[in-house]
Each structure stands twice: as C-alpha cells, then as structure tokens.
Structure 1
Amino acid sequence: MKRGLATILLFMTAAEPAAAHSPVKGIGIFYNGMLHPYLVPGHLLVLLALGLMIGQHAPSSSRYALPTFLVTFLASSALLWWLPIAPLPETLLLVVSLLAGLMVAVSVAPGLVSIFLAVVAGIVLGLNSNPEGVPPEQTGLALAGTVSGAVLAILYAGGLSAWLARFPSWPPIAVRVLGSWTAACALLVLVLQYAKTGAVL
C-alpha cells in the first residue's frame, strides 16, 4: 500500500504543468497549430455547428456566412499575431455552437443570423488561438496551421451537410441529429462551467 502511494506521489511530482493549448511534441509547429482547433472542445464544437448550419441550406446560407467567417477569422488571427490582445471568453463559442446546433436541429434557414454567428465565431476563435509553448518568431507559423485546420474543419462539415441535405430520405435527418448533439454538447459544457464558476460569462 505504501509502495503504491509512493509511486503515485512520484508520478505526480514528475508530471509537467498542463496547458489547454500546449503543443504535441514531435510533429512540428505548423502541424501543432493545425491540430489546435480539434483539441480544444469549444473550437471544435463551433466549427462543427457552424459548418453544419451553413451547409444545411447551401448555397443560400453559405454564400455570405462562409466568406464572413473566413474573413473575420483571418483578420482576428492576424491581429493576434501583431498585437498582444487578451483572449475573449471561450464561452461565446459555446453559445454560438448552441444556437447554430439548435438551428440545424430544427432545420431553420438561418438568413442574417448565420452571418452574425459567423462574425462572432470568427472573431472569438481567432483571438483564442494564441499558441502556447511556441517561440515568438514561430507564432506566425503556428497561427497559419491553426487557420488551415479550422478552415478545413468548417469546409468539411459544411460540405458533408450540403451533400447529405440533397437526399430525400434519412440523410437530412442525420444532419439534424448531428446538430442536436452539437447543441447538447455545448449546453452541457456551459452548465458545467456555470456549476464550476457560478457564472456563465
């Protein structure tokens, strides 16, 4: 018993500090940045929810919402590269994920709402993508990877949603189910944050 306790304490003292955006060793700066949107739950949820919402009613919804997201995300990422800006609360990403997921679940044509959600998501996502554990001279390379990974994620989610929406039977229902799951995940994380801090924002 004592030997097991001593072993656990030894591992605890040897462990490195945890960081939400810490790099994965051995794969390079660019690919670490590329993986970043997939390793942070709030980032992945908002990309999936927005992609599903934009693709579900394409091309009417994707004509403006997708370029809006891309422009705001690129602009905020570039601003983060040039200026030391404090990150916005990731809770905003969860709220966007919740709203977009609900719109997918009920299959509502988003209209101007999709553009507004795309703007909020692009700004918050860009300002929350500051890489940790990266030398300052390689921050741009890491951010380029993050932008590439996020753009691929939203394009694949939107393309899958648009492709499934063309079928007459169960595939559109699958998109709505995915949207409801995304909204449920976002709501669950929001509730857990509220229970932990006593305030959502």
Structure 2
Amino acid sequence: MTVQGMSSFMTGALHPLLTPSHVIILLALGLAVGQHIPLRLGAPLKVFAGCSAIGLALTTTGRIAGVHPGILSGIAFAIGGIVAFGKKLPFAVPAILLGAGALAIGLDSGVEKGAAWTVFGTLSGTWVGLLVYLVNFAFYTSLAAEKKQQWLQIGIRVAGSWILAISVLMLAFALRK
C-alpha cells in the first residue's frame, strides 16, 4: 500500500507499523530478544536481517501473493509464549522463530507492480524499518530487564501473555473467513 505524499522508501519503512500482524510479531520478537541480559543483538540481527531480505526479495518474483494470516498468528503465538513464560532457551529455538518471523513478514510485504526503482525503494524501506523496529523493541525491553526489578519482569511477561491473547484472536478472525 502507498501513503500519499511520502517517498517509496518511507512508505516501505512505515509498512510494518501499519499491518497489525507485522506489529505483533515485531513486538514479540523484540521482547523475546531483549528479555535476555546482557543484550546481544549480533546473531539475532544477522538471522532476522537475512531472512527478512530473502522474504522481501522473493516477493518480487510475483509467485507469492502473501502469507496466510493464520501462519502469522501462529508465529506471534509461539514467540509470545516464550516471552510470557520468560524461560531462557537454547539459541536455536529463538533463532528459528526469528527466521520464521522475518521470512513471514518479508513474504507478506509484497509490493504492487510498478517501476523497478519504486519497488526497490519500498522494499528497502520495509527492510530498514523492520530492523530499526526490532532493535528498538529489543533495546527498550533490555533496559527494563536490566533494572532487576520484579515488577518490570512481570510487565514484560504480561506483555507476552497479551501477545498470546491477541494472536489467538487474530487466528480466530483468520480462520473465520
């Protein structure tokens, strides 16, 4: 979708915030990554950046129309569960969920046909926006987690439970159709 008066790059950068399923996955991923202190974004960001770039690149082939909302809701549900339970998992589990979330968001962010430069600008903006939002969500979560105050830890876990509830509602709406 395009936003009138904005460049293709800015339209792409805002896209993840204008799609509810993308916002909920990004928020869940940010909470999951930021929950573990000290914050280490190197490996998670490499996984997320690579998979989202692959997903966005695959949308240019025209063979992928989008991702079923049930899949997006399922990914949000799984990540929200990790946040809600607050358990530290082996790196492979969050890495798989980071990759799945990034790939799903990328595949669901297809651009309508247009000039090659416009499509490239929009997809580039989406990619940069995804990375910026993930880093911000993770960073601010880690600031709260570093405080070692129990109420902040509980707040993060409550946010995870809300993500679980929202993803179940989104899944119900997706399966209703």
TM-score clears 0.5: yes
Offset of residue 187 of structure 1:
1.1
* Aligned-partner Cα distance in 2 for 1:65–1:92: 21
Matching of residue 85 in structure 1 with residue 63 in structure 2: yes
Q: Quick check: 1:61–1:110 contact (8 Å CA) kept in 2?
A: no
Paired AA for residue 63 in structure 2: I
Which segment drifts farther, 167-176 or 97-106?
167-176
1:101 alignment counterpart:
80
Relative to structure 1, is the Cα distance of residues 177 and 61 closer, same or farther in structure 2, using a 3 angstrom cutoff? farther
Q: Quick check: 1:29–1:134 contact (8 Å CA) kept in 2?
A: no
2:157 alignment counterpart:
176
2:126 alignment counterpart:
146
1:157 alignment counterpart:
137
Offset of residue 31 of structure 1:
0.9
* Aligned-partner Cα distance in 2 for 1:183–1:92: 14
Seq. identity, %: 28
Which segment drifts farther, 59-68 or 134-143?
59-68
Relative to structure 1, is the Cα distance of residues 103 and 78 closer, same or farther in structure 2, using a 3 angstrom cutoff? same
Alignment of 1:54-69 (within 5 A): 54-59=33-38, 62-69=41-48
Aligned to 2:77, what secondary structure does the other structure show?
helix
1:76 alignment counterpart:
55
* Aligned-partner Cα distance in 2 for 1:141–1:147: 10
Aligned to 1:84, what secondary structure does the other structure show?
coil
Aligned to 1:50, what secondary structure does the other structure show?
helix
Offset of residue 134 of structure 1:
4.7
Offset of residue 79 of structure 1:
3.2
Q: Quick check: 2:145–2:153 contact (8 Å CA) kept in 1?
A: yes
CA deviations 1:79-120 (Å, max 9, x no partner) are 333x22313323222111111111111101132211111111
Relative to structure 1, is the Cα distance of residues 192 and 89 closer, same or farther in structure 2, using a 3 angstrom cutoff? closer
TM-score normalized by the length of structure 1: 0.79
* Aligned-partner Cα distance in 2 for 1:70–1:48: 16
Alignment of 1:18-29 (within 5 A): 22-29=1-8
* Count of equivalent residues: 174
Paired AA for residue 162 in structure 1: S
* Aligned-partner Cα distance in 2 for 1:181–1:34: 25
Matching of residue 129 in structure 1 with residue 130 in structure 2: no
* Aligned-partner Cα distance in 2 for 1:96–1:187: 11
Higher RCO structure, 1 or 2 (CA under 8 Å, sep 6+): 2
Relative to structure 1, is the Cα distance of residues 76 and 145 closer, same or farther in structure 2, using a 3 angstrom cutoff? same
